[in-house]
Chains A and B, each alone.
Chain A
């Protein structure tokens, strides 16, 4: 008995859509008020998507739905071919493949840099102490602060903390990295050191979804820029087109506000 997969209502056996991150008709409401109102996009493997938009446009919420820190109200999300459901086991499995970097770093203050980077490796990836430490040192090297291995977060500058946070996420060997305004809480002179690390990651072929106000980074690293407003996508463009000749009036208005 054969069944023809129907495109309008895919059967559970239907092949997952192509793309590292696939989002279809994502809706997220908070207390009945929609923060994200029907968003669909795909991030291909090795691609960098930068999501920009005014505050309250729902860009962070979209990012947080990708690893289920927020439970979508409706819509579908596939991460590397795995469909996200409400099943906790699936969610934890997907989360281990998706690294996330937060605006407020969220390092664990009771652990050293090494402790921060090895913890999840040991209890989620089941790596031994030796291997976890080796990976941690590698990642600290990669983000450029190998000498801070034994420092506690409280002893590090904001930029260093954010780089440890990136190393912590990378140590899990994620297939995707999500960045939620990674430089918004940093002093101006520390922004560059974090952006440099992100740029390096992008060049190495990491699949990235970045919510940021850093237009320089968007211009240099993005394969695609998504402009959101009021919970919906206003415009999707390559960086060149986005900055040179945006189609939508709302985009032009926004760009004129932030590009001086």
Chain B
């Protein structure tokens, strides 16, 4: 009786019942399955003539996807940084303008925002620029140039980049605001007490710390931006999603086309996540 109880309490004894099974239960099975599926897709693309044709047709859009993602993310981070700073400003006017932007953009679906910017905001802006050119007079070089700008000059790709940047700028600004507000008040006081201006203190003391703190969140949004760049297909921009839509519709090879598309996105997001994590580790080296 006593022997039995001791046996059941000893974990090393318990695992001896089926040592192999016990250890296998801890394996990351999801990862193994994912890698296997990935290998199957790669094998198919390499060996199967038809699959490699589909892959080639879709992969032609990778450049556009990457270009849209990078430029929109770059712009979004810059917008986010300045709007984030505005959101912690003590100037009521700046604060309210920034809050208006953030709350409006966050309350509208990205898809709707994209279409709004592409079909409403950009044409309105062009009309405004034309009007400004007319005011300056078409005789002047600048006036003539401004008056000549046409909606058609602005490609759909540029419009969706602006749209995504405006949408994500609101999210990034919230990340920056949270990061700035998470820095202890004493940091700003110490910097100011040393004679630094508010801007200098922000630039050299607060932001370097805040950015390190929010890097994981910024990295997440980079990956999210890569995925949301697929929305640009709605406006006919030929990224990988749009090319897949076109290819599948014309060949009826839906299963193969969309499998390859998902595979490409997954590969890119996994690689990107790893890259972001490496960067995080390197930048937080001083926190030992």
Q: Given A119-B204, A154-B286, A154-B287, are A102 and B194 neighbors across the interface (CB < 8 Å)?
A: no
Q: Given A102-B186, A104-B186, are A109 and B193 neighbors across the interface (CB < 8 Å)?
A: no
Q: How many residues of B contact A (CB 8 A)?
A: 21
Which residues of chain B have C-beta atoms less than 8 A from A152's C-beta? 286, 288
In the complex, the answer to whether B192 meets A106 with C-beta atoms within 8 Å is no
Q: Given A92-B197, A110-B212, A123-B200, are A102 and B190 neighbors across the interface (CB < 8 Å)?
A: yes
Report if A100 contacts B (CB, 8 A). Answer: yes
In the complex, the answer to whether A123 meets B193 with C-beta atoms within 8 Å is no
In the complex, the answer to whether A169 meets B194 with C-beta atoms within 8 Å is yes
Residues of B bordering A, CB below 8 Å = 184, 186-187, 189-197, 200, 204-205, 208-209, 212, 286-288
Report if A240 contacts B (CB, 8 A). Answer: no
Q: Identify the interface centre among B191, B194, B287: most chain A CB within 10 Å of its CB.
A: B194
Q: Given A110-B286, A154-B288, A155-B288, are A92 and B195 neighbors across the interface (CB < 8 Å)?
A: yes
In the complex, the answer to whether B190 meets A106 with C-beta atoms within 8 Å is yes
CA distance A168 to B186 in the complex (A): 15
Q: Identify the interface centre among B204, B209, B288: most chain A CB within 10 Å of its CB.
A: B204
In the complex, the answer to whether A95 meets B192 with C-beta atoms within 8 Å is yes
Q: How far is the CB of B284 from chain A (nearest CB, A)?
A: 10
Report if A172 contacts B (CB, 8 A). Answer: yes
In the complex, the answer to whether B197 meets A110 with C-beta atoms within 8 Å is no
Residues of A bordering B, CB below 8 Å = 67, 69, 88, 92-93, 95-96, 98-100, 102, 104, 106-110, 119-120, 123-124, 152, 154-155, 165, 168-169, 172
In the complex, the answer to whether A110 meets B189 with C-beta atoms within 8 Å is no
Q: How far is the CB of A233 from chain B (nearest CB, A)?
A: 24
- B193, B286, B287: which contacts A95 (Cβ < 8 A)? B193
CA distance A120 to B187 in the complex (A): 13
